[in-house]
A and B are shown apart, each in its own frame.
Chain A
Amino acid sequence: VRGGLAGRLTTGLILGIGVVCAPARGAGAQLPAPPASSPNRIHAGGYAAVVLRAPEAAPLEHGRITEAVIAGLVSGSITPRLTYFVEVEGVSSSHENFTGRQEDEALALERLYAEYTVRDAFRLRVGRFLTPIGQWNELHAEPLTWTSVRPLATYRSFAKSTTGLLAAGEVALGTHDAGYALYAAPLGSHAHDPDEVEFARAFGGRAAIALRPGVWLGASAASLRETRPRMVLDDDPQERGDEREEDARYRYLGGIDARVTAFGVELLAEATYLSSADTVHAERGGFVQVAAPIVAGFHAVGRVESFSRVAGHTIGGGTIGLTWRGPRGLTLKLERQMVDDRPPAVAHGWFLSASTLF
């Protein structure tokens, strides 16, 4: 649902539900929870964020962007083994440049699924869920990430959400924690974002293992039949629809990721490769990000990334930022996103955001 009165009303409704139903959320570990043996309990909460973007000595057409996001999360259990989860996200954005001011509102069903746990090592989920590729995509909420801007490799080459069937589980390999997820999406992606991959059907999976406490390694793979060609990254968003690239075909995706946490420092790295039959349109990208504590909840954040959408055309970039994480999932971020050549479709400039879980 995009724009207009309906969007406002629905966003307001979500906000209302969030405020009325949100439990008092303690600092993570203090949040009370009902016993797992008590079915029919409903949890309601969510997160909210405001992001401001200012161009850095950029052409006026890049403009200022203000974006407000509110997401409602509702989960519950019908029996201890049968649970459900819903996430609805509303976004209101304002884009101001030399042509004037443009406002947009959108409402998206990010997740809607039921899950049955056969045992800890085998859960079955049906519905719409976050695509299990890499680490960022499944934890993309503004209060959980170190930067407001997503690296290109975390969303350009696959659909952020998938509708279908997923089998997942957590296992212990000796003293190593491990997990897996396998999914099939026979009915297509139903992508909200025009820049996302849209496919008729897809199959894929991810496996991850903790080599030692705080050291996770993961690998992802997927096969998909892409149905909708996308913009190339250096197209101007104002001209979308006219210059889409014809590249609909079977494609295969592979990815690896790693997260290392020690002494409060977190290193996160991901890399993806999306094949293309003509090799020219194969996509490859990745990033390495480090967040290190400074003092009183403040963290210094640095990231380098690279993404190649078309052979011979690689976009490189970097991010430096300062992020404060406080109680109750409250997060403040100031970051500068630097990108080669500053293509309009790739976020760059200064970003300031405030977000919280509720």
Chain B
Amino acid sequence: VLVVVHDDVRTPTSRETVRRVFLLRERFWPDGRAIVPVNQPAGSPTREQFSRTILGGRTRDFAAYWNDLYFHGTAPPRVLASDDAVLLFVARTPGAIGYVSAEHATELPAHVRAALTVVVPPPR
């Protein structure tokens, strides 16, 4: 899985930062710009790999977490349907961060920068 950011994001991006960003525990980049995370659809292979590897559980394991946040007025990151949609969104949105299949690493569009490559362990 390849974590991508808009090219105005200059902050080094660790796995821990990505985890906290996608759980909405970090909402602003260190330069003060708002973080705009974008997810892939629940059930998609990329989403499940990202969820297991970065967040530490299956997508459905976080349903209660998102419901709790919803009760406090916070919605989960927006969902886009495909790698191409994520890349387009990140390219057009300052402060955006998303993830796509690693096969896109050599063909990123303008204004999109690879921030982190996550090696997904094979399923047991």
- A: which residues have CB within 8 A of B? 25-37, 43, 45, 47, 73, 75, 80-81, 83, 85, 117, 119-120, 138-139, 141, 143-144, 170, 172, 175, 177, 213, 264, 325, 329, 357
Contacts and interface: CB of A to CB of B under 8 A. Distances in A.
A170 B21 CA distance: 12
A28 B36 contact: no
6 contacts: A31-B70, A73-B73, A80-B34, A144-B67, A213-B56, A329-B70
Most B CB contacts (10 A, CB to CB) among A31, A43, A213 go to A31
Contacts of A139: 68, 71
A177 B20 contact: yes
**Chain A contact residues: helix, strand, loop or mixed:** mixed
Interface in B61-86: 61-68, 70-79
B63 A29 contact: yes
Contacts of B46: none
Interface stretch (B25-33, B99-107, B109-117): B25-33
Interface in B7-34: 16, 20, 25-28, 32-34
Contacts, number: 105
A120 B27 contact: yes
Given A29-B42, A144-B67, A36 B35 contact: yes
Given A25-B70, A30-B41, A117-B27, 13 more contacts: A26-B42, A29-B60, A29-B79, A30-B42, A33-B78, A36-B35, A37-B33, A37-B94, A73-B70, A73-B71, A120-B27, A139-B71, A325-B64
Contacts of A329: 67, 70
B71 A27 contact: no
Contacts of B94: 37
A138 B68 CA distance: 9
A37 B36 contact: yes
A29 B25 contact: no
A120 B30 CA distance: 10
Given A29-B76, A37-B95, A119 B68 contact: no
Contacts of B32: 119
A33 B24 CA distance: 12
A214 B100 CA distance: 27
Contacts of A264: 61
A35 B78 contact: yes
B66 A35 contact: no
Nearest to A135: B68
Contacts of A32: 75, 78-79
Contact of B66 (A28, A119, A172): A28
Most A CB contacts (10 A, CB to CB) among B32, B36, B70, B74 go to B70
B59 interface: yes
A27 B63 contact: yes
B96 interface: yes
A73 B96 CA distance: 27
B25 A175 contact: no
